Structure 1
Amino acid sequence: MDMEQRLAALEAIEEIKALKHRYWRACDGKDPQGFRDCFIQRGAVIDYGPMGAFDDVEPMAEIFTQVALAKVDGKHVIFDMHHGMHPDITLLSPTTARGRWTLRFRQVNLREGTEYLKTGEYDDEYVLVDGQWKMSACRFTDTWSMTRALDESAQITEGEFMAVPAP
């Protein structure tokens, strides 16, 4: 590979990393449109194990909307925190790539009175669409999880959720 090709490959990998980070920000920021925008427009393969498997982003975006935006007495009841790490991105061509990530996930569920911790692995496929990287497949496999009751003294302070604009 010459210098120009190497630079283009590094730029593509960084753009894919930024895409995955936008995806997690959309999840945590309660932003269904931002979530949708991370995937190809039609035909994305999404398999989140126990949460379900889908052949398009829309069914998963609907579940995301119902869960993430759920409110009781005008206040959100689900708070998520996604921390992705250990990116392993392989460019297959100038317009396709594959990636693997480790997820550390934490959720506070005020409706159930629980805290849920989980870790697992994402296996993703990416395609370049109109100059932007998008996920064409996103598969998640649980490694382990733990659910515990929130202590009675736990106090949750809700901040403002703001959608993160796409670049």
Structure 2
Amino acid sequence: MMTLEDLLAREAIRELRVAYSTAFDTIDEAAVRANFIDDIVCEYPVAYGGPIQGVEKVIALFRQTWAHCKYPYDTVHFIGNHAIELTGPDTARGHCMLLDFVNRQGDGSPIRTRGGHDNPMLLIGRYEDEYVKRDGAWKFARIKLTTAWPDRNV
């Protein structure tokens, strides 16, 4: 039976996923960093940076993307169908779907969609996450992104 504490933990984890997407889309490096443990493991498709470990390496990868964003919300990540399983008092895993859009596409930018500005959908993907609770806050320990469209890397 699910307890009130379980429900609160699950909601905090959902808020973590939203906070991460919002921080990335608003180009808020400090907020992105706050969502990760120091030795975060990110498994991205090669086209989006490949596998990396450590918060400094993840932030360096994100800076490369942000260098092509002129304004907040040039990229927008929509998260849905979030499922969370609590695996211990301070651990959990989950998965959710991602719709990733690029709203402003500059000439020569590597961040472009197949349809250009008239079709801003960049990808449809699925995140598989592992979460840990540190100092009373849920954080990402591992993120794995697989893409279903336009290129399937499952």
Instruction: Determine if the TM-score, normalized by the shorter chain, exceeds 0.5.
Output: yes
Tell me if the contact between 1:46 and 1:138 (Cα under 8 Å) persists in the aligned partners.
yes
Q: Which of 10, 15, 18 matches 2:15?
A: 18
Change beyond 3 A, Cα 1:77–1:110: farther
Distance 1:127 1:97 in 2: 7
Q: How many residues align?
A: 139
Distance 1:138 1:11 in 2: 21
Deviation at 1:81, TM superposition (A): 0.7
User: Which residue of structure 2 lines up, in the alignment, with residue 139 of structure 1?
Assistant: 144
Q: Which runs of 5+ in 2 are unaligned?
A: none
The answer to whether structure 1 residue 49 and structure 2 residue 80 are counterparts is no
User: Which residue of structure 1 lines up, in the alignment, with residue 25 of structure 2?
Assistant: 28
User: Which residue of structure 2 lines up, in the alignment, with residue 165 of structure 1?
Assistant: none
**Between Structure 1 and Structure 2, whose CA radius of gyration is higher?**
1
Which AA in structure 2 matches 1:7?
L
Change beyond 3 A, Cα 1:68–1:78: farther
Deviation at 1:68, TM superposition (A): 1.2
User: Which residue of structure 2 lines up, in the alignment, with residue 163 of structure 1?
Assistant: none
Q: Which of 88, 98, 102 matches 1:103?
A: 98
Distance 1:77 1:111 in 2: 18
Change beyond 3 A, Cα 1:77–1:23: closer
Q: Which of 36, 41, 52 matches 1:39?
A: 36
SS in 2 for 1:43: strand
SS in 1 for 2:82: strand
TM-score, normalised with respect to structure 1: 0.76
Tell me if the contact between 1:46 and 1:55 (Cα under 8 Å) persists in the aligned partners.
yes
Tell me if the contact between 1:120 and 1:142 (Cα under 8 Å) persists in the aligned partners.
yes
User: Which residue of structure 1 lines up, in the alignment, with residue 64 of structure 2?
Assistant: 66
User: Which residue of structure 2 lines up, in the alignment, with residue 91 of structure 1?
Assistant: 86
Distance 1:78 1:38 in 2: 19
SS in 1 for 2:79: strand
SS in 2 for 1:8: helix
Root-mean-square deviation (CA, aligned residues, Å) is 2.1
Aligned-residue identity in percent = 32
Distance 1:69 1:34 in 2: 17
Q: Which runs of 5+ in 1 are unaligned?
A: 147-167
TM-score, normalised with respect to structure 2: 0.82
Which AA in structure 1 matches 2:43?
D
